[in-house]
């Protein structure tokens, strides 16, 4: 069986048929196409919007990665794959499947959109009794403002998140009630999204990603827990494996048990496939607590790819102690234009299409994120 991997990393934008993918996003998708080497096996195909060049593929094979068949968008007609594996299922990916007469092994599109929505996650947290105080969904401007007002009255910061969003984009934050331009922006966001999610701004200590595989039938499988590194706006910066020891055994057990229930609910709602559930360790008046469900990503995630790289690199490499590398699969997978550390392993090329790659991916055999990338 041959698989065709498609890195439609702008997956969430497919929810709005009228949205246009920017040139920056197209370049990002081209640069990150190679991350599928973490899971690709011999004979698989990777859709590459731009040519990577033979030297890169040869170098990765020398490293121990599978020999794959890179294909350009204009070569899709020559694909030999009998299964498509996208970052996330969208109408555009389904169209490719139909054109290639490849069976669609995925939930229906409405189920995919719902499973990735914050409305679904919020309702699920309410069922599992793990909502934050003041967290909720507003479907009208008055409802959203009422939720925000709760936080203002309690003198705490608030965050408004779109129903469908990614990596911190489209969020609004504040300490006071929105007014003027903020109110206009909030109204437009609500008009586009239908509903908005309001929650308190937490004093975070660490963020995590629970990596899950949900079968069509049977018990969801917990793959592992990864540490999530983001910037102040929640934009992804990297993934650490294993997570830092700040997460106690008891808190970790609570996190995994709650996420298992979430995975079961996802399955009962009709979703099957890869899923990443974000979580957070934060400080409150009652001490250190864990938010087991922060976001649900019913698709592939960067955390899952990092977890797969950790397994692949553990199999194909035997790091030497004197190189600054640690044995096993501990490390940091991240995206940055420059080398994170002297012993970091480059997993993507320096140039693509004649331009320097801005989103290069690296593996650093360490469990501590370099200060310049935190």
Residue 59 lies in a domain: yes
- 301/362 same-domain check: yes
Q: Which residues face 225 on adjacent strands? A: 210
Encode pLDDT of 270-284 as tens digits. Answer: 999 999 999 999 998
Last residue of a domain, one of 148, 172, 200: 200
Residue 44 lies in a domain: yes
Residue 128 lies in a domain: no
Instruction: Work out how many domains the chain is built from and give that number.
Output: 3
- 188/265 same-domain check: no
Residue 151 lies in a domain: yes
- For residue 45, with 0-12 CB atoms within 10 Å meaning exposed, 13-18 middle and 19 or more buried, which class applies? buried
- 277/360 same-domain check: yes
Residue 3 lies in a domain: yes
Q: Which segment of 74-83, 155-164, 188-197, 223-232 scores lowest on mean pLDDT?
A: 223-232
Last residue of a domain, one of 142, 169, 200: 200
Residue 265 lies in a domain: yes
pTM: 0.91
What is the separation, in whole angstroms, between the first and last Cα of the chain? Answer: 40
Q: Which residues face 239 on adjacent strands? A: 228, 333
Last residue of a domain, one of 153, 184, 200: 200
Average pLDDT for 17-34: 87
Residue 29 lies in a domain: yes
- CA of 239: how far to CAs of 87, 113, 225, 229, 341, in Å? 17, 25, 10, 6, 15
Encode pLDDT of 96-131 as tens digits. Answer: 999 999 999 999 999 999 999 999 999 999 999 999
Kindly state the DSSP code that residue 95 receives in the 8-state scheme. Answer: H
Encode pLDDT of 312-340 as tens digits. Answer: 988 776 544 444 444 447 899 999 999 99
* Structural domain span for residue 179: 133-200
- 55/183 same-domain check: no
- CB 76 within 8 Å of CB 92: no
- 284/175 same-domain check: no
Residue 122 lies in a domain: no
């Amino acid at each position: 069986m041959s698989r065709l991997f498609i890195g439609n990393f702008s997956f969430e934008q497919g929810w709005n048929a009228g949205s246009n993918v920017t040139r920056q996003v197209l370049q990002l998708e081209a640069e990150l196409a190679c991350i599928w080497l973490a899971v690709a096996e011999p004979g698989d195909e990777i859709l590459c919007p731009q040519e990577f060049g033979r030297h890169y593929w040869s170098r990765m094979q020398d490293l121990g990665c599978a020999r794959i068949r890179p294909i350009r968008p204009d070569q899709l007609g020559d694909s030999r794959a009998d299964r498509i594996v996208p970052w996330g299922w969208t109408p555009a990916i389904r169209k490719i499947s139909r054109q290639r007469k490849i069976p669609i092994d995925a939930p229906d599109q409405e189920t995919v959109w719902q499973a990735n929505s914050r409305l679904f996650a919020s309702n699920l947290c309410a069922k599992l009794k793990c909502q934050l105080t003041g967290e909720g969904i507003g479907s009208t401007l008055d409802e959203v403002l009422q939720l925000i007002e709760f936080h203002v009255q309690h003198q705490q910061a608030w965050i408004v998140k779109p129903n469908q969003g990614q990596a911190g984009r489209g969020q609004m934050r504040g300490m006071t009630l929105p007014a003027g331009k903020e109110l206009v922006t909030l109204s437009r966001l609500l008009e586009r999204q239908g509903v908005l999610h309001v929650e308190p701004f937490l004093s975070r200590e660490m963020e995590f990603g629970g990596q899950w595989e949900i079968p069509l039938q049977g018990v969801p499988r917990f793959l592992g827990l990864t540490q999530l590194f983001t910037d102040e706006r929640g934009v992804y910066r990297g993934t650490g494996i294993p997570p830092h020891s700040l997460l106690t055994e008891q808190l970790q057990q609570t996190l995994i048990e709650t996420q298992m229930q979430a995975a079961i609910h996802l399955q009962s709602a009709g979703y099957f496939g890869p899923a990443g559930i974000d979580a957070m360790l934060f400080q409150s008046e009652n001490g250190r607590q864990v938010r087991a469900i922060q976001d649900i990503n019913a698709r592939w995630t960067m955390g899952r790819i990092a977890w797969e790289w950790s397994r692949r690199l553990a199999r194909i490499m035997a790091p030497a102690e004197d190189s600054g590398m640690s044995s096993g699969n501990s490390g940091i997978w991240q995206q940055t234009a420059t080398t994170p550390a002297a012993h970091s392993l480059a997993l993507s090329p320096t140039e693509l299409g004649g331009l320097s790659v801005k989103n290069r991916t690296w593996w650093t055999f360490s469990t501590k994120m370099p200060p310049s990338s935190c």
